[in-house]
Amino acid sequence: MKVRLFLGVLLLLNLLSSCYSYKPNTLPDIEDTQFIKECVNAHNNFRSKVNPPASNMLHMSWDSALAKSAKAWAKRCHFDHNVYLKVHGKVHPNFTSVGENIWTGSLSLFSVSAAISNWYNEVTAYTFETRHCTRICGHYTQVVWATSYKVGCAVQFCPSVTGFKGLTNGAHFVCNYGPAGNYPTQPYKTGAACSDCNGEKCVDKLCARQLSLTKADKLIERTIDFFHTIKLEGQRDMKIMLSLPVMVVLALSVCCYSYEPSTLPDTRDKQFIEECVTAHNRFRSRVNPAASNMLHMSWDPDLAKTARAWAKTCQFKHNIYLKIRGKAHPTFTSVGENIWTGSLHIFSVTAALTSWYSEFKDYAYGTNTCTNMCGHYTQVVWATSYKVGCAVHFCPTVTGFHGSKAAHFICNYGPAGNYPTQPYNTGAACSKCNGEKCVDNLCGK
C-alpha cells in the first residue's frame, strides 16, 4: 500500500510562541534527555486524547535510529521530505517504511510542544468518519496513527531553508515514525480506550507495547528468584548434550512487544544487541550455586550472522554445520546454539532467555543430572562460552514446529558449551578469574 506523505506550509500562530528563546548553539541534540522526554510525552499526550476515542492506540517510545535519520535530513535544511523514506534499510535498519513530519519556522518561535501542537491542530480540518480533509491533515494523522509506536526527532538551526521563502535564522524540526502511517485508511480504530490492546497493558488510554530494559531486568530477577526457591526432586542420570524441545513460554516471561513481521530487530540493532548481552550476563551472574569462573559474555557479529542465516531457513532443528570448523565461525572450532520458536506476538529477548533459563528447575548441579530438558540452561550459563550472537526471523511456518506466523529466535555461542561436565566451577564469585577484572560476579569485561 502506497504511503502518502504530506508536507504543508505551516502557519505559525503567536499563541504557540515558545518561552525557550533558543539560540543557534543552544538547540537540543538528539541525545538530550529533556528533549527526548518532551518529544515522547507530547506525542503520547495527543494520542491519548483523540476524539472519537481510540481502541488500539499504541504507546509511543523513542527510537535512536529514527532520531539519527531525522538529524541527518534536518541538517540539509530542505523544506521537503526525506527521499529515502521508502527505501528499505536507508532510514531505519528494521522498519520497511518510515513516516515523517516537518515543522519549519523562526528560531524564536520553536519549541517541541509548539511544533507538535501545530501538527495536531490539523484535526480541525479532518473528519474521522469520512476521512475527508479540507486543508492539510497528514501531520495530524501521522501523530495519531495507532500502529506507529516509535518516534525519533531532531531540530537543526538553518540560516535559510531551501523551499521556504523568506525565512532566515530558522529552526528546522523533523520527526520520523516507525512503522509509517498515512495509508489510505483511518488512523485508528474507534471504541473504548485500550479495548483492542490484545492483552497489552493500558496506560493513559494507550496500549503499552514495550517493556523498558529496566523492567526486563526486574523480570529476569524475579524469574531467577522464583526458580532458586524450587526444590529439585527425583533426579535421574542423563548425558547433557545439545537439545531442542518445544519451548513452553511461561506467562511471567511474556513481554509486551507484540512485534510485526516488518519490525523484528536486525542483528545490527543496538537495543537488540544490548538486550541479548545484558540478559545472558544477568542470568550468568546469578547462578546457584555460585560460579568461581563465569566469564562475562559479549557480542560477536560473526555468530550473529550465522544465527541469522540459519534462522532464515525456518527449520526447528539445530544448524548442521555447528561442529564443522570454519563453517559457523572463522575462529571457534565448535559453536553452541539455543533456539526459541513461538508466536510472533509473545516474542521478546527476555521471554526467550527466561524460557531457556527456566530449565534450571530440572537440573541438579551436584550430580550433573536432568529430569526433563536442561541443555538450553546449561549453554546459557556455560562458564567458558564468552561470545554470543543472536538473530530473530519471521517465519510464516517452521518445519518441524506446529503453528504459523512464528518468531524464530536463535543464539549461537563461542566456544560451544554442553560437554559432559558441569557448566561451571563452584566457589566464591570470580575467585578463579586468573587475574581478570571482576564485574557483577563475572570475570573480565
Going residue by residue through the chain, which has 445 residues, state the pLDDT in tens, using 9 for 90 and above: 333 333 333 333 333 333 456 899 999 999 999 999 999 999 999 999 999 999 999 999 999 999 999 999 999 999 999 998 888 778 888 788 899 999 999 998 999 999 999 999 999 999 999 999 999 999 999 999 999 999 999 999 999 999 998 899 999 999 999 999 998 899 999 999 999 988 788 999 999 854 444 455 555 655 555 554 443 333 333 222 333 333 333 333 333 345 788 889 999 999 999 999 999 999 999 999 999 999 999 999 999 999 999 999 999 999 999 988 889 999 999 999 999 998 887 888 988 999 899 999 889 999 999 998 999 999 999 999 999 999 999 999 999 888 788 999 999 999 999 989 999 999 999 999 988 899 999 998 6
Classified as helix, coil or strand, 358 is helix
**Domain chopping of the chain, boundaries:** 33-208, 270-443
What's the CA gap between 89 and 94, in Å, rounded?
7
- The beta-carbon contacts of 69-74 under 8 Å, at least 24 apart in sequence, are 69/98, 69/152, 69/176, 70/30, 70/100, 70/152, 70/153, 70/154, 70/174, 70/175, 70/176, 71/30, 71/154, 71/156, 71/174, 73/100, 73/174, 74/154, 74/155, 74/156, 74/172, 74/173, 74/174
> Where do we find the cell 538473530?
391
CB 347 within 8 A of CB 259: yes
**Signed CA dihedral, 58, 64, 65, 67: sign only:** positive
CB 253 within 8 A of CB 392: no
- Of the candidates 157, 124, 215, 208, the residue with the CA atom closest to the CA atom of residue 27: 157
Q: What is the CATH number of domain 270-443?
A: 3.40.33.10
* CATH architecture label of 33-208: 3-Layer(aba) Sandwich (3.40)
- DSSP annotation of 53 reads P
Distances from the Cα of 298 to the Cαs of 215, 353, 426, 437, 439, in angstroms?
Answer: 21, 15, 22, 15, 13
* Run of H or E including 388: strand 387-398
